[in-house]
Structure 1
Amino acid sequence: MEYNELIGRIAYSKAGRDQGRFFIIFDVINDDYVNIVDGDLRTVEKPKKKKIKHLEITDEVMEDARDMIISNNSISNIKVRRFLKNRDAIKEG
C-alpha cells in the first residue's frame, strides 16, 4: 500500500495503552511507523508514533482530512473528534 493511501484512514489500536481506541492516520514515517491522532488524547499538534503492526487499518477514509494533510493545510482536532464520533468509532471505557 502506498504511503499516501494510508493518510486519512481510520485505524484501530490492537496493542499498547491506547488499545481499543480508534485513530486517524496523520502521517507515514516509514514502512514500520505512522503518526496517529484522535483529536482528544493524541492531538494534531502532538500525534502518537505507532508501529503499523500494532494497528488494524480499516478501509474507511476521512477524505476531508486526507486532502488537507496532503496539501499541507492544517486540520483541527475538533474535526477529527467529530468524524470519529459520527462514525461511532470512539469506544466507551
Structure 2
Amino acid sequence: MSEAESTPEVGQIVHIKRGRDAGNFAIIIGIVDERFILLADGEKRKYDRAKKKNIHHVELCSYISDEVKRSIEDTGRVTNGKIRHALVSYRKEHPELLKEGK
C-alpha cells in the first residue's frame, strides 16, 4: 500500500482480501485504532453488527461515499440502505471489477 492508501477514512469503500468475506466489498463505518477498522455492507454485515477487521486484510479503494461519511459525522450512525446504495453505486461506476470477479 502506498502512503496515501494506508490512511483509512470513514465512508471509504474497501475490498476484503482475507477471511470469510474475502472478495466482497464493504464500507468503513468506524476506525478502532491504527490497526483495526469497522466494516459493514448493509446486508450480511449490518451497521449494528459491524465486522472488526485488520487493516492489512483489506484493500482500500480511492472512493469515499460522501453520503455515508456525512451521515455518520452528523448523527453518529448510518442506515443499512445508504450503505447498500453506496456499494451498488460504486460497482456501477467501476464495471471492470465485475469482470475481474471482485
Q: Give the shorter-chain TM-score range.
A: 0.7 to 0.9
Determine whether 1:49 maps to 2:26.
no
Q: Which amino acid aligns with 2:44?
A: L
Aligned residue runs from structure 1 range 73-84, under 5 A: 73-84=76-87
- Of residues 52, 60, 66, the one that matches 2:69 is 66
Distance 1:5 1:66 in 2: 12
Instruction: Compare CA radii of gyration and give the structure with the larger one.
Output: 2
Query: How high is the TM-score relative to the length of structure 1?
Result: 0.86
Query: How high is the TM-score relative to the length of structure 2?
Result: 0.79
Higher helix share goes to which structure? Answer: 2
Determine whether 1:26 maps to 2:29.
yes
Percent of matched pairs sharing the same residue: 26
Distance change in 2, residues 1:51/1:75 (3 Å): same
Aligned residues: 91
Q: Which 5+ residue runs of structure 2 have no aligned equivalent?
A: none
Q: Which 5+ residue runs of structure 1 have no aligned equivalent?
A: none
